[in-house]
Structure 1
Amino acid sequence: MATFDLEPVARQSTAELIADRLRIAIMRGALEPGEQLGEADLAAKFDVSRGPVREAMQRLVSEGLLHSIRHRGIFVIELTVDDIEDVYRSRAAIERGVLERILEGRCEATYAALGPSIEMMRAAADKGDAAAVSDADQQFHEVLVQSSESPRLVRAARTLLIETRMCLGALQTTYDDLHEQVTEHETLRDAIGAGQLELAYTLLSEHMSDAVTRLRHQREATSGTPGTAS
C-alpha cells in the first residue's frame, strides 16, 4: 500500500467562526455603528463560552471594526466623512496594486472570474434590488483582489471592503439608477480583459472618487450639515 505525506486539514476555530459572523453582521448593519457588544450576551446567542467570544472581539478590534473604550466596553466603529474618504483612498491604492499584478499576465483569467459578479449585479439591478446589487458589487471587488494572488493585498483589502459596505448604511447604494453601477463595473472588467493598463487605472480612480462624492452628499443630506457624519 502506497504511503503519502498528509498534512493536517486546516479548520476554523470557534473564535474564527464567531469573528466571521460578527464581520457579516457589522457589514450588513445588523450590528449598528456605535452599538455596544457584550461578551455574555454574544456567548449566549452563539451558545459558546465567553472565551471564544472574547478572542473574536479582540480580532475585530485589531482589524479596526470594533473599538474598546476603557471602563465602558467594546463598540462597533462609527465612520465619519473623513473616515469614508480615507477608506476609499486606501482602497484605491490597494486595488491599483491589484491591477498591476493582474495585468502582468492574469487578465484573461480575471476577466472570466469577474463574470459571475457582473451577472449577479445585472440581475439584481433588473429587479431593483439595491441590497443584492451591493452584495454583487462587493463580490466583484473581492474577486478582483483575490485575482492578484497576493495574500497581503487580500488581507489588506478585507476590512476596507467591510467598511465600504458600512458606509452605505441602510440605503445600500448611492446610485439612483442601479444599472449605472453595473455599467461602471462592466467597463472596468472590459479594460482588464483587454489588458488596457492605463484605462483600468483611470476607471478605478474615477470609480473611487465618484463613490466618495456620492457618499459625502448622502451623509450631508442625512445629517443636514455639510461635511459631517450622520
Structure 2
Amino acid sequence: MAVESFSSIRGFADAQRRSSRRSHALFEALQKEIVLGSLQPEQSLTEMDLAQRFDCSQGTVREALMRLNEEGLVNRLPNRGTHVAPCHADDARALLNIRREVECTYLDRVVARANAQLDRDLHEMLNGMRNAARDRDEYMLSVWDRSFHTRLFLAAELPVVTPILTRCLIHNHRFKILNSTPNRELEATAERHVPILDALAARDTEALHDILGHHIATIVDFGPDLTNGDTAG
C-alpha cells in the first residue's frame, strides 16, 4: 500500500507539473496577443473557444486567465464573462507616474549595490533587444526591455516592490505598442538604453536619475511626456 500510495502521489505531482507548464505556455501566448493587440481591448474571451483553439482543457485555460486577471490584462466578472482589459491613456499616464516613482526614487540603492554582474546582465539584455529589433520582433524587444528594467531595479533589493514595477512595465509596453506610430525604428528603441548603461557604469546617481526619468516619461515614440512631469529632455 505504501508503494502504491507513493506512486499515486508522484503521479499526481507529475500531472500537476504538466498542467502548470501548459497553463504557463497558454498564459504567455495570450499575454503576447493582448500586448500586440491581436486580442483587442474589450474583446470577449470564452474558456471553451480558447480550449478549442489551443487544444487544451478548459481548466488549463481557466488557470491562464486567472493569471492574466491578476496582471490586469483581462477582466473576469461574475455573470459577465472574461474580457480583454481596456487600454486607456489615463491608466497609462497613472502607471507611468507610478513606474517613474518606483524606478527613480531608489537609484541610490541601485548604484550602491551595482557590480560587474549587474553590468553584464544589463548588457546581455541590451543585446537581446538589439537582436529582436533586427528581427523586427516587437514583442521580444518588449520582453527584453522589461527584463532590463526589472533587473536594474532588482539591484535595489526591494522585493516586495518589484511586482508593482513589473505590472507597470507590461501595461506601459502594451500602451506603447497599441498607440505608437506604425513601422517605427525598433533599433532606436533598443539604443535608448545605452545612456542608462553609461550612467550606471559611471556610478553617477544624479545622471542616472535624469536619464531614466526622461526615458520613462517619453516612452511613446520618444515623446510627448505622458507623465506631464518636468523631467529634463
1:26 equivalent in alignment to 2:49: no
Distance 1:190 1:114, change over 3 A: same
Secondary structure of the residue aligned to 1:211 is coil
Secondary structure of the residue aligned to 2:35 is helix
TM-score by length of 1: 0.73
Secondary structure of the residue aligned to 2:82 is strand
1:90 equivalent in alignment to 2:81: no
Secondary structure of the residue aligned to 1:151 is coil
After superposition, residues 96-175 of structure 1 pair within 5 angstroms as 96=104, 99-123=107-131, 127=134, 129=136, 131=138, 133-169=141-177
Distance 1:99 1:175, change over 3 A: farther
Distance 1:159 1:71, change over 3 A: same
Instruction: Return the alpha-carbon distance in structure 1 between the equivalents of residues 171 and 151 of structure 2.
Output: 17
Counterpart selection for 2:198 from 190, 208, 214: 190
Structure 2 segments unaligned to the other structure (5+ residues):
1-12, 227-233
TM-score by length of 2: 0.72
Q: Please say if residues 72 and 85 of structure 2, whose CA atoms lie closer than 8 Å, have aligned partners that are also in contact.
A: yes
Instruction: Return the alpha-carbon distance in structure 2 between the equivalents of residues 28 and 152 of structure 1.
Output: 28
Q: Please say if residues 128 and 178 of structure 1, whose CA atoms lie closer than 8 Å, have aligned partners that are also in contact.
A: no
Aligned CA-pair RMSD = 3.5
Distance 1:18 1:121, change over 3 A: closer
Q: Please say if residues 176 and 219 of structure 2, whose CA atoms lie closer than 8 Å, have aligned partners that are also in contact.
A: no
Measured against aligned partners, the alpha-carbon deviations of 1:72-131 in whole angstroms (never above 9, x if no partner) come to 321111111111111211211222256343222224322221112223434555x48372
Instruction: Return the alpha-carbon distance in structure 1 between the equivalents of residues 182 and 225 of structure 2.
Output: 9
Counterpart selection for 2:49 from 41, 50, 68: 41
Q: Please say if residues 60 and 66 of structure 1, whose CA atoms lie closer than 8 Å, have aligned partners that are also in contact.
A: yes
Secondary structure of the residue aligned to 2:197 is helix
Structure 1 segments unaligned to the other structure (5+ residues):
1-7, 219-230
Percentage identity across paired residues of the two chains: 28
Instruction: Return the alpha-carbon distance in structure 1 between the equivalents of residues 54 and 85 of structure 2.
Output: 22
